[in-house]
Structures are given as structure tokens and as C-alpha cells.
Structure 1
Amino acid sequence: MLDFTDRATLPDAPREFGFWSDGYWRKGVAMFERRSPGHGVPVTLTPRCTVDDLNAAVAAARRAFEDRRWAGLPGADRAAVLLRTADILRRRRDEIAYWEVLENGKPISQARGEIDHCIACFEVGAGAARLLHGDSFNSLGDGLFGMVLREPVGVVGLITPWNFPFLILCERIPFILASGCTVVVKPSEVTSATTLLLGEILSEAGAPDGVYNVVTGSGRTIGQALTEHPDVDMLSFTGSTSVGRSCVHAAADSNFKKLGLELGGKNPIIVFADSDLEDAADGAAFGISFNTGQCCVSSSRVIVERSVAREFEEILAAKMAKIIVGDPLQTKTQVGAITTDAQNSTILSYIDKGKAEGATLVAGGQALDLGGGQYIVPTLFSGVTPGMSIARDEIFGPVLSSFHFDTVEEAISLANDTVYGLAASVWTKNIDKALVVTRRVRAGRFWVNTIMAGGPEMPLGGFKQSGWGREAGMYGVEEYTQVKSVHIEVGKRAHWIK
């Protein structure tokens, strides 16, 4: 029996999973072995599903939607299932966090915190299920009454990434289910375990068969087929902008399905001279190191007022040098392993590019050998110019670029000098500057004197090439609905034909 407490150890053998379809575990034929990125040992076996498996799961979701076993329930009944799910997650918190750590490489303390956020998502989703409503128009004259109905869009395909397998799942599923939709999920091939576990948790909580389905496998096979599937009414995708663009083409070429896209980011953190520099430095270090920088809202560009730039970078470098990089199963660890071999190589290549392009390496910049797994020390470059690769490309790792500015206008211009618009933050004690920057920097999420704060009550999403639509909160429930206008004539019709 595995121990999921602070004494957690590696499993003796990889755990074998089925895939979850129509309320039951299904056996896979071919299996994918996942090795822990923090330890290099096999930890899970998950099915490489076929397109036939996907078609069966979509058919199950379609039946569950069309016979109204879920959409036809009162919002209070859907809410009850979501609240019971939150209770089960609370009971199984350490277990889910454990498998998240083994497949992803993130620190156990971070994983547990993410499960707490996931619990909150289900609780907020439960409230939203009861509050979802339409509207009425009593302004059309005495002979006509108008209503606006919000109806679930139907079968939703959900494709989730490897950086936050359970968190991103739970920032969507409670709100998709609150709307009355059914869902087929395709998690990342390398981090499928916790998405699969949610199937049995929702079933235990009372979700009807077919409401939640998980089909595992590669993005090229299962992800592409889900995106193109003619019986999927909406697709929600979280991942790179390049793959998001292919989702747009695939949706247009199939059935013009509705899309929700949360894509890349190159997020600025603007630091003014009048800010608390210690606070700002701590925020910047956290913002680039959280989840090893493998986070679409990572603060990967620090834009600091020139008069305090040297002082700030010294404080920031000292902060980053104290970050504890190590075994993700240790509670003291703050930065764990890089999740995939490919991403590890990509991050190291960008560190090399930063040096070659003339940026000054201030902190970090190297891989860390811990005798197993793959680790990179949080890295800070100064003297970065807008044309450098590390300034423009989403590195998706713990690499922070520092820019300098003299005026508010210059800070705003540097912040907006990117194709992305996912997140941003500003640090200042001047409320006027804070409001000017908040209003003019184009980003879907914004923080003032903090970073990566907030809860599932607030919407998530981006501007520009960072995506379409919003997730979480009431906005996130409404995203998975269609709006229908209803006109009701009162009294006898005024005849057109006399």
C-alpha cells in the first residue's frame, strides 16, 4: 500500500490504468509507459487508445446529452454532484497530488495546493449551476414577450496539457458540467493519471454514465480526431498557439464547432521605482519559477524602471539563488523537475541563445545533476533587447529576461510588444500609474502588487494570440452555452392576410 503522506516513496512497479468511457474502466490494448521526470523510473501505464475508442466515448457523451439524463436535471441536482465531487477530492487530496507529482515532476507541496484550488473550482461550479439563468424582455409592447434562454452547447471535447494536468482540467470540468454539457477529455499522453482518476470520482459522486469520458493517447491521433469529430459541438484546448491555430483550421473543416482556446504567453511584470522592490523581486522570482516556469502565465519578462534596475536585479538574483530545486517528493522543494525530455532540451537551448545573442547572465543558467531526473536552475538574463529570441519566444521554462524603461509610456510599449496577451502584473505604490498600466496593457489576467493570485470565481483567458473565450466563474459556465431568443405573442394575432 502506497503512503501518500510526507513519507511518500516511489512505487515498486508502474500503476496500470484503463481509460474511462460511459461510466466504466475500459482496458487498452497498447500501453504507454510514463517515467517520472524527477526520478527516471516507470510510474504509470496508460492506454494508447484508438479512434474507435474515441468514437465510442463521443457516442456515449452524445447519448448522455440527448436523453437529458444530465442537462434535464435541475441545476440544484447538478450542483449536488459537483459538491460531492469536491468532498471526495478533499478526502483523496494527497493521493491525487502524489500521482500528479510522479507524472509531472512538480513539487508535492505545490501539487497539494493545486488540489485545494481544484476543490474550490467544484464548489464554485456548484454555485454557478444553481445561478445560471437567461433573461426576459418586457419591453416589446403589450402583444409580445421576449425571453433569452441559455442552453448547454452539447458534447464538449476537452484537450488538456501536461504542465497542469489536474488544475487545468478542474478549471474547466465543473463549469462545463454546471452548464449541462457532457464531455470527452483527451489529456496529455505523459500526464493522464489524475484525469482518469476524476472519472471514478465523478461516478462515485453521482454523475450519470457517459457524462464524463477520458480517452488517452497521442495528440496526433486522438487529439486530432477529437478536434475534427463531427459529433463534438465545442472544443476547449489549452496548449501552444501553433497547435491552437491548427484547432481553428480543423474545426472549420469539420462542423464549425465552437472553440475555447487558452494558448501561449510572454507575460510582463512591470516594476516601478516607487514599488517595494523586495516584494516585487519575490513576486518575479515566484512568477518565473512556479511549476519550473512551465506555466502559460509565467512572468517571463521583467520590465524595470532604469533608475532602480541594477538594485532590483541584485535583489532578484539573490532571491533566485535561494530557491530550493530538488526531489519533487520532498516537501521543502520549491522547484521540481522539467516534465519532458523535449522541453528540457528546449529550455537549455534558449539559455544558450540568450548568451549567444549578447544578454548578460545574472543568475542560474545551468542544468542541475541530482543523480536522476532533469532539473534546471532558475535563470535571469539582463541587458535583453526586444529582438532577442529569449525576449520574444515562449520558452516555457524558468528563464526570466530583464528590460529597462524610463517612462510609463515606454513600460507600456515594452509590455505590449508581443503577439501574446495572456497575463501581466504591475508593481507600484502609485494608484494612478497602476490604473493607467492596468487599462492599457493588453492581457486577459492582470495583477497589481501580486502575481498568480485569485480564485475560480474570476474568469481566465487571453487577448491577441493567447486565445479565445473565458474559463471559470459564471463567464466560464456561459462559455459552454448557446443563447436562444424566444418571442411569445400575447392575445390574438393581427392577421397579415385580410
Structure 2
Amino acid sequence: MDKITKTAALPESAREFGFYVDGAWRGGRPLFERLSPGHGVPVTLIPKCTVEDLNEAVAAARRAFEDRSWAGLSGADRAGVLLRAAAILRERRDEIAYWEVLENGKPIAQARGEIEHCIACFEMAAGVARTLHGDSYNSLGDNLFGLVLREPVGVVGLITPWNFPFLLLCERVPFILASGCTIVAKPSEVTSATTLILAEVLEQAGLPAGVYNVVTGSGRVIGQAMAEHPDIDMLSFTGSTAVGRSCVHAAADSNFKKLGLELGGKNPFIVFADANIDDAVDAVAFGISFNTGQCCVSSSRLIVERSIAAEFEQKLAEKMTRIRIGDPLDEETQVGAITTDAQNDTILGFIAKGREEGATLVTGGTTLEIGGGRYIAPTLFSGVGRDMEIAREEIFGPVLSSFHFDTIEEAIEIANDTIYGLAASVWSQNIETALTVSRRVRAGRFWVNTIMAGGPEMPLGGFKQSGWGREAGVYGVEEYTQIKSVHIEFGNRAHWIK
């Protein structure tokens, strides 16, 4: 498909995919039928792989790593493959966005924007592949010289979620490849298509066989086996904190594999009275509604100075009612469908719980009947107590809780009153206020007078129970390396035994 328009048609029948191991497509497995969350019709058929399939994929990745067909290339050669992949992604942007929409339910315009970010990730990683380096120590005396080498960690297991299937994949894959590692990827069983399409892209770009493998199936079967696998050197997992904790246990019980974890968030959006109120209102409406709130860095806790709280919430409620919710294939849609039935039920359950606990429903809280899909209106609660479930639990939907503060110390205390530390945003025209808050609120990503801004140059990751390690940028390549100290002695040894 060369062009996606406002009237893009649904596929006439579900597209069947294979899985990808050692540079070859495989089939012959039972198939999972995926229904479009925005339309309720079948769109893809995805293989239900077995643990034996995973073992073969890991073996292929191990062979490709050990034979040096990728790790042994120069950084320039690896960069060339990554740049060719970026060019192919640019050619196939609309096609990839189309399948992302069909499986995930996000708006088509948003999906295309995400593919642009993915292209930038490959281009950024190509630059890091050429510049990745170690260090040297010329300070050990005349007879000893020290080198610090960065070497690829080995075979990386990559488990990605359903909320940003391609974007999160591309915030990891090119940086893993830049380091010289090989990959076995397991996408969510409900959004596997674009991870499989990336295999086509990388093969066309010249990636050697076995360097990128895709095994599809459930998290309980394939994901658990990856976490436990003794020949996977590192596991990168993006998802819930609860599952991240199980990855830690599985790694400890198998081979002490290295872990990269991007987990849950309950992210504060802090607004001071001197902020540009209209800009802040628009930003928080975007921050909680983008990707239907199914976003680990969504601004789910509004913390607003009491003197402006009433005005702010009134403007926000009015703004939220004007968000365009609808068919994900419509170019004008801003908020699409909820991705799974289970998540739809979870969000509605939290909305009901907020009412039961005594929070005031300001706007939203309702389901919308649109074309056979699952849709929930962006929702704002005020009068939320800090001990309420909607204040503490990650809802992963378009549900915003509002809190009020009187002093900067109180704002910081409320912001830090969570087990999570993934992202935060502060709004103030006072640079001292903004810097004080950004330095003292514990979060891995921070935005000042903006939200969800930035590119692949900057690292991604969280504090506290929001995860371990960093993705993207130079740090995201270094994450997939091991450091080796090399000592080189000159001259004759001073003998210990005389």
C-alpha cells in the first residue's frame, strides 16, 4: 500500500504472517486471529510459536554472534546497514503505519508520526555505531598501559508491548544492533505484524541471517521462556512492573542475565500559577489522551497550584470534550480505540472505582459507540485523595486525577508520592521554580513547559519501580555492551620467586 488516506479501506481478509528465524520465514503453527480494536474485524493471523521455536531462534542468534558476521564488522559497516534500513522504512512508512493502526487502534496520523521517529532512531544508532569507543589509561606507570574495551553483550532477548509496537521496537533494535549484539524479538501476541515487517526491512538492508529473529506467541509461554533461557545474555523487557519483577526472578534463577527494564509510570504534571495556563491546559489534555492514555509516560496525575485549580480544571474539561475521537483510519482522529478487551475493562473498572471512592467526575468517564470498536472518552477526576486507587495505580488509559498544592515543597512531595519514577513535567515561567522541581522530582525523563518532547538522542528510562537501565542515544548502545579492562605490561617481569 503506497498511500494511506482518510478513506483507507479495511483489508478484505486477514493477512497471514509467518515467524522469522535465521534469515528464513517459517509457518505451520496454529494461528492467532487478531481483530481490529477500532473496527472489530479480523486483520492478521499470527503464529503461536513453541518453546522449541524459541530455542531454535536463540541458537541462530548465538551462531550469528559467535561467527562474527555482525559483531566482527566495523562500526561503519554496521552503520551502513542501519542507514539502509532507515531509507527502506521511509519508503514503507505508510504501509507500516497502516498495519500498526489495524492491530493497535491508534490514529493513522499518529502512527505515521511514530514511524518518522523510528527512522530517526535508526539514523541516530548508525552514528553511535561509528563512534562507540572505550577508553585508555596512560597513568599506570611507564611499564603498564591500560585499555577499557566495550564489547557487545551477546544474544539479546527483546520483549515489547502492545501500546507502541513499532516505536518501542525501534527505540531498541537499532541501538542493540549498533552495539554488535544479535536479537531474538517477541512482540505482544496482539500486535506482532510490524515487528515481523521489520524483519523484511532488515533483510533487505543487508543484515546477516540470524542477527534479527522474531518468535511470536504469548508472554506466559514464549516470554517466560526467554526470561529463563540460559543462552540469552541480556533481556530487554518493556511492560508492567509486576511482569518486570518476574523477569528479575527468572534471570536470577537461570544465568544472571543482564536486564533492561522499562516498566510502569504514574507521572506527575505540575502546574504553578505563573505558568502559561492555556498552553499547560492543552499539554495535559494531550498528555493524558495521546495513544488513548495507553502510554507509560502519560501525564496521569495533574498537580496544580490551588489558587488557579478551579479555573484550570474548567478550561481542561472544556478542552477534553473537543478531542476528536473516532475511526483510527480517519486522518482527523486524535484519539482512537482501546487496544484490548482486557484493557478496556481495566480502564472502566478504575473509572467506577474513582466514583466509589468519592472523587468528582468532571468530564468523560463514558464509552462511545463508534463502528464496532472500543472507545472511552478522556476522563478527568477532581478532589482525588492521595490514597485512592486512581491516584496510586497505573490505569493505562485516558483517566486523569487532579490534586491541588499551596507550596513548592508540597508539589514536590505529591509528585514523589509514588512507587514509580518514569517521567514528569513542570510548568512555570520562573526558571528557579522549574529547575528546583526538575532536580528534586525523581523521574528518568523530565519536561519543562512541554510534554513528551525530544528525540532519539536522549536516553529513556525510569527511577524506582519504573525500571532499570536506559534506551536510545549513546547510553542506549552502551547499555548493550560489557566493559573489559585490559592491562598491557612492557619490559621484563620482576620475578616473585627468586
- Asked whether the two chains share a fold, i.e. TM above 0.5, the reply is yes
Q: What does residue 248 of structure 1 align with? A: 248
Q: What does residue 481 of structure 1 align with? A: 481
Cα distance per residue 1:23-72 (max 9 Å; x no partner): 11111420000000000000000100011111100000000000000000
Opposite residue 475 of structure 2, the aligned amino acid is: Y
Q: SS at the partner of 1:474? A: helix
Is 1:9 aligned to residue 9 of structure 2?
Answer: yes
Q: What does residue 44 of structure 2 align with? A: 44
Counterpart contact for 1:460–1:471, Cα < 8 Å = yes
Q: What does residue 191 of structure 2 align with? A: 191
Counterpart contact for 1:272–1:428, Cα < 8 Å = yes
Q: How does 1:5-84 map to 2 (within 5 A)?
A: 5-84=5-84
Q: What does residue 385 of structure 1 align with? A: 385
Percent sequence identity is 79
TM-score w.r.t. structure 1 length?
A: 0.99
Opposite residue 347 of structure 1, the aligned amino acid is: I
Q: What does residue 465 of structure 2 align with? A: 465
Q: How does 1:118-267 map to 2 (within 5 A)?
A: 118-267=118-267
Cα distance per residue 1:7-29 (max 9 Å; x no partner): 31100000000001111111142
Structure 2: unaligned runs, 5 residues or longer:
none
Instruction: Give distance in 1, aligned partners of 2:174 and 2:28.
Output: 27
Instruction: Give distance in 2, aligned partners of 1:66 and 1:312.
Output: 59
Counterpart contact for 1:288–1:400, Cα < 8 Å = yes
Q: What does residue 268 of structure 1 align with? A: 268
Instruction: Give distance in 2, aligned partners of 1:422 and 1:112.
Output: 25
Q: SS at the partner of 2:148? A: strand
Compute the displacement of 1:135 (Å): 0.2
Q: SS at the partner of 2:121? A: helix
Structure 1: unaligned runs, 5 residues or longer:
none
Instruction: Give distance in 1, aligned partners of 2:13 and 2:400.
Output: 38
Counterpart contact for 2:79–2:125, Cα < 8 Å = yes
Instruction: Give distance in 2, aligned partners of 1:18 and 1:266.
Output: 37
Is 1:351 aligned to residue 351 of structure 2?
Answer: yes
Counterpart contact for 1:3–1:9, Cα < 8 Å = no
Cα distance per residue 1:438-494 (max 9 Å; x no partner): 000000000000000000000000000000000000000000000000000011212
Opposite residue 443 of structure 1, the aligned amino acid is: A
Instruction: Give distance in 1, aligned partners of 2:381 and 2:6.
Output: 35
Q: SS at the partner of 1:209? A: coil
Q: SS at the partner of 2:261? A: strand
Instruction: Give distance in 1, aligned partners of 2:406 and 2:354.
Output: 24
Instruction: Give distance in 1, aligned partners of 2:78 and 2:27.
Output: 29
Q: SS at the partner of 2:46? A: strand
Opposite residue 149 of structure 2, the aligned amino acid is: L
Opposite residue 129 of structure 1, the aligned amino acid is: A
Instruction: Give distance in 1, aligned partners of 2:251 and 2:479.
Output: 17
Cα distance per residue 1:410-462 (max 9 Å; x no partner): 00000000000000000000000001000000000000000000000000000
Instruction: Give distance in 1, aligned partners of 2:51 and 2:385.
Output: 46
Cα distance per residue 1:293-342 (max 9 Å; x no partner): 00000000000000000000011111101100000000100000000000
Instruction: Give distance in 2, aligned partners of 1:280 and 1:6.
Output: 30
Compute the displacement of 1:5 (Å): 3.7
Is 1:495 aligned to residue 475 of structure 2?
Answer: no
Opposite residue 55 of structure 1, the aligned amino acid is: N
Instruction: Give distance in 1, aligned partners of 2:52 and 2:76.
Output: 35
Cα distance per residue 1:239-284 (max 9 Å; x no partner): 0000000000000000000000000000000000000010001110
Q: SS at the partner of 1:203? A: helix
Counterpart contact for 1:28–1:48, Cα < 8 Å = no
Counterpart contact for 1:321–1:363, Cα < 8 Å = yes
Counterpart contact for 2:288–2:399, Cα < 8 Å = yes
Opposite residue 274 of structure 1, the aligned amino acid is: D
Instruction: Give distance in 2, aligned partners of 1:163 and 1:68.
Output: 34
Q: SS at the partner of 1:353? A: helix
Instruction: Give distance in 1, aligned partners of 2:254 and 2:497.
Output: 43
Q: What does residue 305 of structure 2 align with? A: 305
Instruction: Give distance in 2, aligned partners of 1:474 and 1:61.
Output: 24
64-73 or 366-375, which deviates more: 366-375
Instruction: Give distance in 2, aligned partners of 1:8 and 1:62.
Output: 42
Q: SS at the partner of 1:100? A: helix
Q: What does residue 437 of structure 2 align with? A: 437
Instruction: Give distance in 2, aligned partners of 1:486 and 1:4.
Output: 54
Instruction: Give distance in 1, aligned partners of 2:371 and 2:468.
Output: 42
Cα distance per residue 1:385-418 (max 9 Å; x no partner): 1011100000000000000000000000000000
Opposite residue 350 of structure 2, the aligned amino acid is: Y
Q: What does residue 283 of structure 1 align with? A: 283
Compute the displacement of 1:2 (Å): 8.2
Opposite residue 270 of structure 1, the aligned amino acid is: I
Opposite residue 102 of structure 1, the aligned amino acid is: L
TM-score w.r.t. structure 2 length?
A: 0.99
Instruction: Give distance in 2, aligned partners of 1:82 and 1:484.
Output: 26
- Please, what is the CA RMSD of the aligned residues? 0.8
Instruction: Give distance in 2, aligned partners of 1:148 and 1:272.
Output: 47
Instruction: Give distance in 1, aligned partners of 2:77 and 2:5.
Output: 34
Counterpart contact for 2:301–2:391, Cα < 8 Å = yes
Cα distance per residue 1:71-103 (max 9 Å; x no partner): 000000000000000000000000000000000
Compute the displacement of 1:232 (Å): 0.2
Opposite residue 334 of structure 1, the aligned amino acid is: Q
Counterpart contact for 1:365–1:377, Cα < 8 Å = yes
Q: SS at the partner of 2:232? A: coil
Q: How does 1:396-407 map to 2 (within 5 A)?
A: 396-407=396-407
Compute the displacement of 1:3 (Å): 5.6
Instruction: Give distance in 2, aligned partners of 1:200 and 1:28.
Output: 19
Cα distance per residue 1:152-175 (max 9 Å; x no partner): 000000000000000000000000
Instruction: Give distance in 1, aligned partners of 2:343 and 2:244.
Output: 18
Segments of 4+ moved more than 4 angstroms? none
Counterpart contact for 1:14–1:43, Cα < 8 Å = yes
Instruction: Give distance in 1, aligned partners of 2:347 and 2:4.
Output: 31
Compute the displacement of 1:370 (Å): 1.2
Q: SS at the partner of 2:255? A: coil
Counterpart contact for 1:2–1:9, Cα < 8 Å = no
Q: What does residue 327 of structure 1 align with? A: 327
Compute the displacement of 1:104 (Å): 0.1
Instruction: Give distance in 1, aligned partners of 2:157 and 2:443.
Output: 26
Counterpart contact for 2:186–2:214, Cα < 8 Å = yes
Opposite residue 483 of structure 1, the aligned amino acid is: I
